[in-house]
Amino acid sequence: MFIEPSFYQKNQGWIEVICGSMFSGKSEELIRRLKRAHIANQKVEIFKPLIDNRYDDKDIVSHDENRIQSTPVEAAQRILLLAKEVEVVGIDEAQFFDENLPAVCETLARNGSRVIIAGLDKDYLGKSFGIMPEILALADTVTKLHAICMKCGGLATHSFRKIINHEQVVLGEKESYEPRCRKCFSEGLAAQTTDQGNGTRDEVEGCSL
């Protein structure tokens, strides 16, 4: 479990990143840290991309249905305007934000805010997702979480898209995605490549531990 850094001092900012595959508990961990900041009577502001309305238009909601109130924003620059003189800034689903988010996070940290960011590090093809590589490079601490592979029961590091759609951003939950380990993910992609026309989920057996 992540423990808040002991080097924290008032007005000393830094950037924390929580990353991993879908269903790995990223939003759950983000909510946990933000609630601890509330308990510590710190001034907290929380943001998510306007596009993400899967569970709620405003709240950040984990897959376990824990939730915390947030402000949906269309552009990263908006966060700077809304987070002035804030001690802790939470940002969920960072991969959906525009290219200005890294600079926004750096500015917030330089101004003394603790910035906690959650996001997918890889897309449905297993490639870097949006601005996440730059966010990870800026981070002072990185927590990489793992789900459970739905094929073999091993540690999952990838988000496998069960439907045929070649857009990088396709919002969905368990009906569209499942976590997989690297081997089962690769097997699934290979099976889909041979069956592009019908859109069915692959029937490839997963690897064994």
CB-CB neighbours of 154 under 10 Å: 18
Written as one letter, the residue type at 43 is K
How far apart are alpha carbons 48 and 148 in whole angstroms?
25
- Whole-Å CA distances, 19 to 78, 118, 132, 167: 23, 6, 9, 21
Strand partners, 19: 119, 144
User: What string of DSSP letters covers 62-79?
Assistant: -TT--EE--EEESSTHHH
Active site residue 29: no
How far apart, in whole angstroms, are the C-alpha atoms of residue 204 and residue 184?
A: 8
Residues facing residue 73 across a β-bridge? 49
φ/ψ of residue 145, rounded to 5: -100, 155
Of 45, 93, 178, 187, which one is the catalytic site residue? 93
Question: Which residues are tagged catalytic?
Answer: 93
